[in-house]
Amino acid sequence: MSLATETITTLRRRLDAGEITSADIIRDVAAAIDAQNPEIGAYLSWDTAAALAESTSSIPGPLSGIPVAIKDNINVTGQPCTCGSRILAENYRAPYDATSITQLRAAGAIPFGRLNMDEFAMGSSTENSALGITRNPRDLSRIPGGSSGGSAAAVASHTAIAALGSDTGGSIRQPAALCGVVGVKPTYGRVSRFGLVAFASSLDQIGTLTQTVEDSALLLNHLCGYDPRDSTSLDTPVPDFTALLGRDIKGLRIGLPKEYFISGIHPAVTAATDAAIKQLESLGAHIQEISLPHTEAGVSTYYVLAPAEASTNLARFDGVRYGHRTASPADLLDHYMSSRAEGFGPEVKRRILLGTYVLSSGYYDAYYLKAQRARTLISRDFDQAFQKVDLIISPTTPSPAHKLGELKNNPLQAYLEDIFTIPANLAGLPAMSVPAGFALEDGKKLPIGLQFIARPLDEATMLSAAHAFEQAAQIR
Amino acid sequence: MSSPAIDIQKVATLSRLKLTPDEAVLYQSQLGKILDYMDVLVGYDLDSVEPTAHAVPAQPHLREDEPRPSVERSLMLANAPKSSHDQFQISKVIE
């Protein structure tokens, strides 16, 4: 049996017992990538020789010798960091490690492989990557979700033990749900954003995609923490997230937002959520209906704020310091305009234009400021809800994975698919998706995710409840 | 709050993006539809609500303004599409 199918937890035990070596794991993962990546397309690049060399000097620690695959927007020294874009695909090599990578290395982990994504994390299907599509391992005719689609597909296809992703409006949780793995977005500010290529700085957060809740908890123990190089990093103690796993959840108050149970949800998603509610009740949790009255404002608020921030963040791609440069520009303005036009794909252009428009003179108050005010209302909804409950649950997505190309020509419809995941980003809350069941389509079992949302910095309660659910439900 | 006609070429210039005529038509129509969706916010009384820029009311922490080592120049220049004399080379800006 390939070691690539195991979890961090089981590999740790076998490494510590001396049964296997880190090099054994890396060779098995590399063999799995070689066999499956031509079909699935989760990886954009991987350097087996470099990882094997690193494995000989891996630092002793809880993650010692464990390879972790990295979304292609997190810088790892000397490796490509394309962000799924032509603009960075030509010759960019990261000159430094992101803090999240430094912290993984300090615990002994080995960054191995670069994972496909929607260009600059803009999208929910990974079809916006300029470097090729990624297919859902459960049904190759369907999307893996996105933007961390490569991360979710790699873990789901057992071509990665675990992966890092980034989540701006659901980009970890949504692909985790559609591929049937665990995906965690911690509280905004918990994990340093230093070295993560910025999309929307007030929403972006690095997190984990793993086979089990325990593996995510283990990784988060090392990823979370204060970083002076990220000006919004939280200087707050990090608990041992694995310590609460296995405790019972009797008496835990869990809220069901009535606004999330809208028409148009796939019947299998409703059925899986209903079954999850029963499962959590049988574990002793008290489920109650709550209201998040401004839920409907989430998508429109997000699609003003995120493009506005993106339009400023992506101004750095000027064809001078790094990235694509047009061949023979007429003048400096043409140098900028042509380099960017040739380097960026359609979704990125659409969002830069949208963001520039809502920030431009005469429209700032009507769109940007209004959206910032609506963001306050969305945050207040959660503040009020968390006075009554300890956790909130909902479906992660309204439907299981769509067919490739199904939403390609309808950006607004694609944006509406993010309705359940966006609010946690707007409010900065920790949230995660756990496998909760399947929809049967064309004879294939398409995964469905259950989302848990917690109070700021209360990842421990969220992980503990998700772990209890995972152990009881045994969704395979 | 239905969106007014968008001067897509003006926005494209502000965005430093050269658009083909086909792209201009496509984005003009798509942006209009996306902005129309903002009508969802019309029903809310927003004037009395404070805007939120960051969800966590963090006080951004700044370091002391003291020089310290940074990434090596050669490493940064290695990613430049064009460089010369240990500097980034840009397009001509003076006649």
Of A188, A201, A119, which Cα lies nearest the Cα of A429?
A: A188
Res B2: pLDDT: 46
Q: What is the pLDDT of residues A298-322, one digit of tens each?
A: 999 999 999 999 999 999 999 999 9
Tell me if A195 sits within 8 A of A74, measured CB to CB. yes
Chain A nearest CA to B50, separation (Å): 6
B79 and A CB contact within 8 Å: yes
What is the domain partition of chain B in residue ranges?
Answer: 1-44
Q: What is the DSSP letter of B80?
A: -
What pLDDT does residue A372 have? 96
The 3-class SS string of B30-79 reads: HHHHHHHHHHHHHHCCCCCCCCCCCCCCCCCCCCCCCCCCCCCHHHHHHC
Closest-CA residue to A200 (of A352, A92, A347, A6) = A352
CA triple A143-A148-A154, angle to 5 deg: 75
For residue A20, the 8-state DSSP code is S
Catalytic residue among A100, A151, A171, A311: A171
Counting one residue from chain A and one from chain B, the pairs whose CB atoms sit within 8 A come to 174
Fold of B1-44: Histone, subunit A (1.10.20)
Asked if A352 reaches chain B (Cβ–Cβ under 8 Å), the answer is yes
Residues paired with residue A209 on neighbouring β-strands, in sequence order: A163, A183
Angle, helices A8-16 vs A213-223, to 10°: value is 80
Residue from A55, A124, A129, A147 carrying the catalytic annotation: A147
Does A192 qualify as catalytic in the annotation?
Answer: no
For residue B1, pLDDT beyond 50: no
Given CB atoms, is A262 within the 8 Å cutoff of chain B? no
Q: What is the DSSP annotation of A113-154?
A: EEE--SGGG--SSSTT-TT----BTTBTTB---SSSHHHHHH
| A171 included as an active-site residue | yes
The CA–CA distances, whole Å, from A253 to A113, A118, A290, A451 equal 40, 36, 11, 15
How many Å lie between the alpha carbon of A429 and the closest alpha carbon of chain B?
Answer: 8
pLDDT value at B3 more than 80: no
Q: Taking Cα atoms as reference points, which of A181, A173, A139 lies closest to residue A40?
A: A139
Q: Specify the pLDDT at position B58.
A: 60
Residues making up chain A, counted from first to last: 476
- Check: CB of residue A414 under 8 Å from CB of residue A125: yes
Q: Average pLDDT for residues A459-468, to the nearest whole number?
A: 98
Beta strand residue intervals within A14-137, DSSP E: 43-45, 67-71, 110-115
Q: How far is CA A290 from CA A253, A260, B5, in A?
A: 11, 10, 40
Query: A83 and A73 in contact (C-beta within 8 Å)?
Result: yes
Domains along the sequence of chain A with CATH: 1-288+385-476 (3.90.1300.10)
Asked if residue A318 lies in contact with residue A339, where contact means CB atoms within 8 angstroms, the answer is yes
Query: Is residue B57's pLDDT more than 70?
Result: no
Residue A217 has pLDDT above 80, yes or no: yes
Side-chain half-sphere exposure of B14, counting CA atoms within 13 A? 19
Q: Which residue has the higher pLDDT, B25 or B63?
A: B25
- Mean pLDDT over A18-45 rounds to 98
Asked whether A249 and A473 are in contact (CB, 8 A), the reply is: no
pLDDT greater than 90 at residue A408: no
| pLDDT tens for each residue of A53-107 | 999 988 899 999 999 999 999 999 999 999 999 999 998 999 999 999 999 999 9
Chain A neighbors of B80, CB-CB under 8 A: 320-322
At A18 the three-state DSSP class reads coil
Q: Does the CA dihedral A382-A383-A384-A390 come out positive or negative?
A: positive
CA separation for the pair B91, B95 (Å, rounded) = 11
Q: Peptide bond preceding A147: is omega within 30 degrees of 0, i.e. cis?
A: yes
- Please name the member of B23, B52, B63 whose beta carbon is closest to the beta carbon of A375: B52
A338 touches B: beta carbon within 8 Å? yes
Asked if residue A371 lies in contact with residue B29, where contact means CB atoms within 8 angstroms, the answer is no
- pLDDT band for position B56 (cuts 50, 70, 90): confident
Percent share of chain A, pLDDT over 90: 93
Q: What pLDDT, on a 0 to 100 scale, did the predictor assign at position B88?
A: 95
Identify the sign of the CA torsion A148, A153, A155, A160. Answer: negative
Please check the confidence at residue A168 and state whether its pLDDT lies above 90. yes
Looking at the DSSP assignment, which residues form a beta bridge with residue A196?
A74
**ipTM at complex level:** 0.93
Rounded CA gap, A185 and A207, in Å? 5
CB A185 within 8 A of CB A205: yes
Interaxial angle between packed helices A48-55 and A22-40, expressed in degrees from 0 to 180 and rounded to the nearest 10 = 160
CA distance linking residue A121 with residue A234, whole number of Å? 23
Distance from C-alpha of A12 to C-alpha of A223, rounded to nearest angstrom: 18
What confidence tens digit (pLDDT) does each residue in B6-40 have?
899 999 999 999 999 999 999 999 998 888 888 78
A92 and B79 within 8 Å at the Cβ level: the answer is: yes
Q: Is the pLDDT of residue A261 over 90?
A: no
Total residues belonging to chain B:
95
The bridge status of strand A67-71 relative to strand A162-167 is parallel
Residue of chain B whose Cα is closest to the Cα of A369: B51
Task: Give the β-pairing of A253-257 and A286-290.
Answer: parallel
**What is the greatest pairwise CA distance in chain A?**
70
Mean pLDDT of all residues in A334-361: 97
Chain B residues 42-71 within an 8 A CB cutoff of chain A: 44, 46-47, 49-56, 58, 60-63, 71
Compute the nearest-CA separation of A287 from chain B (Å): 27
Are the beta carbons of A204 and A171 closer than 8 angstroms? Answer: no
Q: Please determine, for residue A438, whether its predicted confidence score (pLDDT) is greater than 70.
A: yes
φ/ψ of B31, rounded to 5, equals: -65, -40
Cα gap A31→A125, rounded to integer Å: 26
What average pLDDT does the structure give for chain A?
96
Instruction: Flag whether residue A455 sits within 8 Å of chain B, measured between CB atoms.
Output: no
Within 8 A of B1 by CB-CB distance, chain A residues are: 366
CA distance linking residue A118 with residue A410, whole number of Å: 16
Average pLDDT of the residues in A112-123: 98
User: Cis ω on the peptide bond leading into residue B70 (within 30° of 0)?
Assistant: no
Q: Has residue B59 got a pLDDT over 70?
A: no
